Structures are given as structure tokens and as C-alpha cells.
Amino acid sequence: MKFTKLQGAGNDFILIDTRQEQRDWGKLAIAMCHRNFGVGGDGILLVLPSDKPGAVAKMAIYNADGSYAEASGNGLRCFARYLLHAGLVPARAKSFVVETGAGRREVRPDWSGPKAVSFQTSMGKPIFEPKDIPIVAPKGKIELGHVPHCVLEVGQEDIPVACVSMGNPHAVQFIEESPDTYALGDIGPQVEHHPIFPARVNFEIAQVVDKNEVMARVWERGVGETLACGTGACAIAVAGQQEGLLDSPVDILLPGGRLTVQWDGRGEVLLTGPAEVVFEGEWAE
């Protein structure tokens, strides 16, 4: 089975054109994403036919643990890069639409000569309704304002988070110290599996440098710590704007690189960043 390895700001994916394939994709994701015994990746992306008017293809995502993911900003850019790489989208296309588990998403390549140097993707409108994020908590445990807030009891610590869905659930903690010193490997799994989040959650820690720049790290649901997370960057930007900490646009600096997020406070969030083909290969059955 042929595959293409891609990465967007270090968030890496194994893409498979599945239009002629049927498999247990969750089981395959676990095997292929293993860093020692497989190809290595944060997830797999599947190219599926779309029946949505105007969409060039449908993208499905499975995390490294085999679970299904509704959305991925970096995955969407990698998917877009592959569509251009494989000739499934016309060269120098100004924009095209991809169907995802979170809805239709428009992609706008930024061309420099014959090469798209980055991609801007529409990421949908943020969701703040607790039941739609989803958050389940005893009455009075969720503080409603511009964005829902919760204080999570994690071991001996109280972790204050702002919650938002970008088609998938996110919990953002704004911190004053450098993200480099944060014990994300210990706290991240506990937040991901906290009972307040029935569908688990992606967890971001963010240090505001100024109103247009943030340093961040991400613990991804079903993956663990990743070098970058596109929907996580959007969640940080949206939560920061709602709390008056950030303006638009804002650069989110992650271990794998820089992502830029724009949001007017009402409509869809826009995410801009790189995506590159790493290599192509064939998976032995």
C-alpha cells in the first residue's frame, strides 16, 4: 500500500489515497504511526471521495492511538499539499474546498512562482456552548463568560482552563512562566482524560509574549505532545482574544514552528502555516 509522509510545522502525518481501499484504519494508524516499528507519525490522513458540492475530496483523520479525529489544522494543510503534489487540484489554484469531519473547509495556497509556500485554511467558527465542546460538570463548576472556564483538579494542583471547540475539544491554560519548564508530560494526560471532558480534550499551555505573539506547547488527544497543533493554535488565539489578552492576527510559536491565526471575533477562524512532503513509500502488508 503506497503512502506519502508529510509534515506541517513538525506535526507529521501519513497520507493514504483510500479511494480504492477498505481497511481497519484505526488499527492501521496504530501500526503505521509507531515511531520504532512503523513509519512514524502523529496520525494518518485518508483521501476519500466527497459527495459535497464543490469539494475536491474528503479528509478523514485517525490519531496515533487509532482514535478518530474530527479536525486538524496542520493535517488539513498537509492534505492540501498532497492534493497539489498528486495533481488532484489544478496548479496555481487560488482556492479549493475540502470536506472534513468538522465541515467544509476552504484552502488558499500562497504561491511563490510554481510553489505554494504556505496555506491559509478556514477552520470554522469557534464553539463556546459547553454541551457542544463537550464539557460535563456539576452545576456551578463551569464559569460562563466570553469563553467557558473550568478549574480542573489534577493531582495536588488546580489547573484553570478556558474551553473552546474548533470542531474538536480544547482546553487552554495561560501561564506566566516559559512553556519549556511546564511538566506537560505529567499533566497533559490527566487533563486529556479528565472526567469533565466526555470526549477527552486537547490541552494547550500558552505564554503571552505580547498581544500578537504567544509561546505554546500542546498535548494532543490520542497522540501525546506534538511539535505543533493547528486547531490548538486556533483555540489559543480565540480564547486569548475573548479574554482580552490577544489581538488579531497573532503568531503562535510552537516547538515545530510558527502558525498565524486571524479571527474577527464573529466569523470563521483563519490559520496560516507551512506543509511539506517528506517522502513517499510503500507499506508492507
Contact by Cβ (8 Å): 161, 171: yes
Spans of the chain below 70 pLDDT: 20, 140
Q: What is the pLDDT of residue 142?
A: 81
Contact by Cβ (8 Å): 9, 16: no
What are the angstrom distances between the C-alpha of 249 and each of 121, 196, 271?
14, 31, 10
pTM of the shown model? 0.94
DSSP codes joined into one string, 127-176: B--GGGTT----TTSSB-SSS-EEEEEETTEEEEEEEEESSSEEEEEE-S
Q: What is the pLDDT of residue 20?
A: 66
Q: How far apart are the C-alpha atoms of 100 and 70, rounded to whole Å?
A: 7
- N-to-C CA span, the chain: 7
Domains of the chain with bracketed CATH: 2-123+273-282 (3.10.310.10), 130-267 (3.10.310.10)
Beta-carbon contacts of 250 under 8 Å, excluding residues fewer than 6 positions away, are 211, 212, 213, 214, 237, 240, 241, 260, 261
The beta strand positions in 20-145, using DSSP E, are: 43-48, 55-63, 68-69, 96-100, 103-112, 115-122
